[in-house]
Chain A
């Protein structure tokens, strides 16, 4: 009896083998627990929607996605990345919200000859000197979004700006990116505590300075706190507020009308006029009952990129997928994306307003294009 089972099992294994070879495995890492769990949830939704749109196949191969929760901890991220590469033997590791986590898994994944595709984080070292040919970004380099804000405010003839960001690496990167394109007067530069919940003291200090404009970077829950308190303190009468990564699809449901009229920059918007984006936004809203955020759009694009790589190269082989992606020409929610020499996209950046849609739901809308085909500032120092 035992023997029969053995033979049956072996026969099944042999029969399964060719099918296995045609399955592409993606390890998708994001933050599903803790205060940032909502971001990860939206990304997971988008990945599942992308697979559904592709009929469960990427480039004609059966697709399997393993979701892992990095808990926003670099050590956990590193362990999970090793597990995905070594024991799950995935073909692609993708996702990653936070720059410090991406830095932690960058070498372990890329050196194991596995593709690493970021759906969000874009720290400067990976775009520049520490770049690796197996890494691709489907988002942006961190400096680029505030660069667009700086460019817009410079061109709009704004004379002075007060800057505010949390006191950590990304906060400093954001403000230095802004200052690369804005050369007017800096009325003040304030770094707040990471995770701060009450900004009343900072707002009182800002009122005393009464700058013409204020530009903030306060991502996640901090953004909800900041915008609420800005409005409650009547700061609109004192200074005009601009932001990056502070008012987005994740914070809008908690802010609603409070966020109306606040301008920001972004490389994606729910109203971008192309077929992929229209289908993505409409189906996401129908399935999950709310607007997707840019995190979700970039997660969707990540799966689109894998599909594109396999379709054009006809293989899930790392070398072939890499060659296909490096050529760019990737169909995404942001149109057809070009790839730079450091494997970061060359793309447009838009000025967005916060408005009510036809159903009275608060959302973002493109006002104008700030940068057309904008490349990051680090590509020159990247040598594979």
Chain B
């Protein structure tokens, strides 16, 4: 186990973390600011991936697929808020869970009707299939470096937007005290719709970037939803900064734990036990982390509300 391997794995963890952040950023705003338990966020990941793959297949150009997938996911988020979510604001959390859980089933079935149950073909164009030597003797796929860069760029953009712009100030005010914000003459309804669509759009970007490296199939977004819920609980609900730091932590813990824990266990116990227990414990690590954070910081690492 060399230093370069640990550094390479840290890169892998970072890449997993920024992808996770893109999903969690929207979710933390929807939960924290709009106070809606929205479980169908994984469907936005799926919509992004399908839009990119389908458009790329239709036009024969990978980049057009990427570009057009962004407005498609924004539009789907906008429509969804307008048609359904806005009616849920006054309902209690249980109703929201039921309605948005139903949405998961609805979107999966819709995709299956539209595209069939089989996974869609999607792969990288030759221009993105190369390698970069990140460390001597360690070639790293260009595309994955690109994912890290796009993720970081999105994180910076969201941060600048929330902390430096007028609309960002409204978002922060809305997170702190929605009634008072509305009383000050800010159109909360429009603000919410905009936040929701933007959140959906970032999840779509995550899906669009995941498309070429994973299977584009119905239900592909659900595993990301569960991990991003862990992220926003660790980061503090409603906090974008918290979501970013927590996503990186979760990405690193999950990746490094998965790779190094079984090897470390092998030093302590015999091979068969280590092979059995290692992966099991590694897959629990992020949840253990969440439990520990909840014990010491019940509102998360960076709570949005003071």
What residues make up the interface of A, taking CB atoms closer than 8 Å to B?
34-35, 37-38, 41, 167, 189-193, 195, 197-198, 200-202, 204-205, 208, 221-222, 224-225, 228-229, 232-234, 250-251, 253-256, 258
Write the chain A residue with the least CB distance to B8.
Answer: A204
Which chain B residues numbered 200 to 245 have a C-beta less than 8 Å away from chain A? 210, 212-220, 223
Give the CA-CA distance A143 to B9 in the complex, in Å: 33
* Given A193-B279, A205-B5, A228-B213: A200 in contact with B118 (beta carbons within 8 A): no
Select one of B1, B15, B117, B220 contacting A41, CB under 8 A.
B117
Q: Known interface pairs A197-B215, A204-B8, A234-B141. Does A37 touch B121 (Cβ–Cβ under 8 Å)? A: no
A-B contact count (CB 8 A): 112
In the bound complex, CA of A319 to CA of B123 (Å): 53
Q: Which stretch of B63-71, B149-157, B255-263, B288-296 is in the interface?
A: B255-263
Least Cβ distance of A156 to chain B in Å? 26
Residues on A with C-beta less than 8 A from B117 are 37-38, 41
For B141, give its contact among A205, A224, A232, A254 (CB under 8 Å). A232
Does B177 touch A at the CB level, under 8 Å? no
Q: Is the CB of B118 within 8 A of A253?
A: yes
As a 0/1 sequence over residues 1 to 41 of chain B, the CB contacts with chain A under 8 angstroms (1 = contact) are 11001001100110110000000000000000000000000
Q: List 15 A-B contacts (CB under 8 A).
A: A38-B118, A41-B117, A191-B276, A197-B210, A200-B16, A208-B2, A221-B119, A221-B217, A224-B215, A228-B214, A232-B141, A234-B139, A250-B118, A254-B217, A256-B121
Q: Is B163 an interface residue (CB 8 A)?
A: no
Alpha-carbon separation in the docked complex, A35 to B215 (Å): 10
B63-91 with Cβ < 8 A to chain A? none
Contact indicator B120/A225 (Cβ below 8 Å): no
Residue in A37, A192, A195, A251 with the greatest tally of chain B CB atoms within 10 Å: A37
The verdict on A232 contacting B118 (CB below 8 Å), with A191-B279, A197-B220 known, is no
**Contact (Cβ within 8 A) A197 B121:** no
List residues of chain A with CB within 8 A of the CB of B174.
Answer: none
Contact of A189 among B131, B143, B275 (CB under 8 A): B275
How many of chain B's residues have a CB under 8 angstroms from any CB in A? Answer: 48
In the bound complex, do residue A204 and residue B283 qualify as a contact, i.e. CB atoms below 8 Å apart? Answer: no
Contact yes or no, A208 B5, CB < 8 A: yes
Q: Are A254 and B258 in contact (CB under 8 A)?
A: no
The answer on a CB contact under 8 Å between A201 and B258 is yes
Q: Decide: A204 near B5, CB < 8 A? Known: A190-B262, A232-B213.
A: yes
Q: A254-B119, A256-B123 are in contact. List 15 more A-B contacts (CB 8 A).
A: A38-B117, A191-B262, A192-B258, A197-B210, A197-B220, A197-B223, A200-B15, A201-B12, A201-B255, A201-B259, A202-B258, A254-B120, A254-B121, A255-B121, A258-B123
The minimal Cβ–Cβ distance linking A259 to chain B, given in whole angstroms, is: 11
When the two chains form the complex, which single residue of B2, B12, B210, B279 contacts A192, counting CB atoms closer than 8 Å? B279
Q: What are the 5 A-B residue pairs with the smallest beta carbon separation, nearest first?
A: A37-B117, A254-B119, A224-B215, A221-B215, A38-B117
In the complex formed, the residue of B with least CB distance to A237 is B139
A278–B210 Cα distance when bound, in Å, is 38
A200, closest chain B residue (CB):
B12
Q: In the complex, what residues of B have CB within 8 A of residue A198's CB?
A: 16, 213-214
Q: Which chain B residue has the least Cβ–Cβ distance from A171? A: B279
Q: In the complex, what's the smallest C-beta–C-beta distance from B24 to chain A, in angstroms? A: 16
Say whether, besides A193-B283, A201-B9, A254 and B215 are in contact (CB < 8 Å). Answer: yes
Looking at the assembled complex, report how far the CB atom of A315 sits from the nearest CB atom of chain B, in whole angstroms: 38
CA distance in complex: A373, B140 (Å): 45
Q: Shortest distance in angstroms between B141's beta carbon and chain A's nearest beta carbon? A: 5
Closest chain B residue to A193, Cβ basis? B283
* Residues B259 and A35 in contact, CB atoms below 8 Å apart: no
User: Looking across the interface, which residue of chain B has its beta carbon closest to that of A186?
Assistant: B271
Q: Distance in Å from the Cβ of B14 to the closest Cβ of chain A?
A: 11
B172: A residues at CB distance < 8 A:
none
For A256, what are the chain B residues with a Cβ–Cβ distance below 8 Å? 121, 123
With a cutoff of 8 Å between Cβ atoms, the chain B residues found around residue A192 in the complex are 258, 279
What residues on B are CB-neighbors of A254 within 8 Å?
A: 118-122, 215-217
Expressed in whole angstroms, the minimum distance between the Cβ of A168 and any Cβ of chain B is 10
Q: Contacts of B129 on A, CB cut-off 8 Å?
A: 232
Closest CB of chain A to B243's CB: distance in Å? 20
Q: How far is the CA of A255 from the CA of B122 in the complex (A)?
A: 8
* Interface membership of B193, Cβ < 8 A: no
Residues of B within 8 A of A37 (CB): 112, 117, 218
In angstroms, Cα B213 to Cα A222, docked, is: 11
